[in-house]
Chains A and B, each alone.
Chain A
């Protein structure tokens, strides 16, 4: 239907005698349609994220309004050409719009689940927080920019949400978040594990005897000063005796877009920390 309105109206406009007034009226709709094409071309050209990026919700939300004025102008032209039936055309447009609004109400992506509020509200209030290095990121893959130092400062200035309800699982998860520091693997850490510093992929290290592909869950004890290196990503869970009950799983490693590429070094800030490493897409070197 949209194509019919656009095509039909455009055909009628093309048949009109072009005056200065016509050009003035069409300037904005055509300019915006050009902008829509530019946005689509630019987003589709970002092939490293996939060509389907052009149809991602955020870009659809940009392209659609840019095309609306042209659609409106062509629809109006069709209405005008209907002569005394123009009010009927307008009534049909109103009717279609009402149906479109109603049918669109639930469409599109849904709001994400709130996952980090409790974690960020709990971490700087935990007794371990004061003795935790400021640069440690409690959620290193989902929010690597948020450090415990920043959270402490936000808490001190009253900018954090209220403390969440304390539960054993939240306590264990907070201990995990405050005990493992993720950062880009340093050449010394890689060297200590016998990994060449230019090895950047899991494939490169697959044959290293200190490394193991994460195709099954495994338990690891990480001690301060003995970092482990993670290629790819994995979920970590703190286990007793480090904590009273098993913690929630926390993602670590490298994920698309939010973390820089390359292997990650996981340091125990305190410990030893007993971890379960699972759901991994990569290799763990211990």
Chain B
């Protein structure tokens, strides 16, 4: 499959020195091809960043963006409550940090995260392709198409799509770390951790961990695949079995409200869910206010 740059067999007798020279020439040619494609891809990446910023120009917070900003705080409920059936703990953390640093004055910092994830995914894809034996000048143009992939624009122009893009990026990261021969415990541990992080971004993480499991099973066998899959499966399974994943409604039942007299924000339940679970971290006085 790989286009191995092999010098043509020399006519007549070949001395070891000549063969060595031929190999050195081949290596140098390969390095030139690799370097040039890397430079071209870096240029494409920079152009893609500029392109997506321009295309998303003027976008402000919309729809789902408001849930991690105004609908959640960094507590157990805020991290684990489902959002349209997804566990989005890591994006919630990212949103809270960005809100703390930038507020909602500008959408740019939030957008930057999604665009950075998009470009990261592209580099990881290219790297995985090269490791699969694909030539530089097939991997680079194919991934370049995806860098500017209009039909998937939603995942680049909307900051909340860091949920899906995060799962994708972390899943590919896991795959890169798990894709090796033999036993490399540190790499495996990092890969497994990335798998857990991938499922903590969105449900796409589950598919990514399954993809990693299948790839590692094919390459390294059942034991290595289990090391990659089981931690993420355990975390996601526990969350899925918990009340936080309850997808009775599309969006979280809890609504962040500001309660008069409480002096702080708290989680309160709407009329539809009063009585199912009592509001946490809220004084009785505030609970009554929240319900009323």
B-contacting residues of A (Cβ < 8 Å)?
13, 16, 22-32, 34-36, 38-39, 42, 46, 56-58, 60-62, 64-66, 68-69, 71-73, 75-77, 79-80, 86, 90, 93-94, 96-98, 100-101, 104-112, 114-117, 120, 133-135, 142-150, 152-154, 157-162, 183-186, 256-262
Contacts and interface: CB of A to CB of B under 8 A. Distances in A.
Contacts of B134: 69, 72-73, 75-76
A116 B60 contact: yes
A34 B214 contact: yes
B292 to A, nearest CB: 9
A35 B213 CA distance: 10
Contacts of A13: 1
A145 B270 contact: no
A200 to B, nearest CB: 11
A46 B203 CA distance: 13
B103 interface: yes
Nearest to A49: B250
B61 interface: yes
Contacts of B69: 145-146
A114 B164 contact: no
A69 to B, nearest CB: 5
| In the complex, the 8 A-B pairs of residues with the closest C-beta atoms, listed nearest first | A149-B258, A159-B103, A61-B152, A31-B215, A35-B211, A107-B150, A97-B141, A134-B258
Interface of B: 1-3, 51, 55-63, 66-67, 69-71, 84-85, 99, 102-106, 121-122, 125, 128-129, 131-135, 137-139, 141-157, 161, 164-165, 168, 171, 175, 179, 181, 203-204, 206-208, 210-216, 218-219, 249-251, 253, 255-260, 265, 268, 270-272, 290
A108 B253 CA distance: 32
Residue in B1, B151, B203 whose Cβ sees the most chain A Cβ within 10 Å: B1
| Dominant secondary structure of chain A at its interface with chain B | helix
A93 B171 CA distance: 27
15 contacts: A31-B175, A31-B212, A35-B214, A56-B154, A58-B154, A61-B161, A65-B125, A72-B134, A76-B135, A77-B1, A96-B141, A105-B51, A149-B265, A150-B256, A258-B251
Nearest to B147: A101
A143 to B, nearest CB: 4
B138 A93 contact: yes
B2 A80 contact: yes
Contacts of B143: 68
A112 B63 CA distance: 10
Contact of A69 (B61, B104, B129, B148): B129
B155 A61 contact: yes
Contacts of B122: 65
A162 B71 CA distance: 22
A112 to B, nearest CB: 5
B59 A104 contact: no
A26 B271 contact: no
A125 to B, nearest CB: 14
B45 to A, nearest CB: 13
A64 B165 CA distance: 12
B132 A29 contact: yes
Nearest to A135: B257
Residue in A30, A42, A56, A101 whose Cβ sees the most chain B Cβ within 10 Å: A101
B133 A25 contact: yes
A116 B69 CA distance: 15
B265 A58 contact: no
A70 B23 CA distance: 30
A270 to B, nearest CB: 16
A72 B140 CA distance: 10
Given A61-B151, A61-B164, A86-B3, A26 B132 contact: yes
A183 B274 CA distance: 13
Nearest to B271: A184
Contact of B104 (A98, A159, A261): A159
Contacts of B61: 116-117, 143
B146 A68 contact: yes
A183 B138 CA distance: 56
A171 B66 CA distance: 23
B175 A32 contact: yes
Contact of B103 (A57, A90, A101, A157): A157
Contacts of B218: 23, 26-27, 30-31
Given A27-B214, A108-B149, 14 more contacts: A30-B214, A31-B175, A31-B211, A32-B128, A72-B139, A73-B1, A75-B142, A135-B257, A135-B268, A142-B62, A143-B66, A149-B258, A160-B104, A260-B272
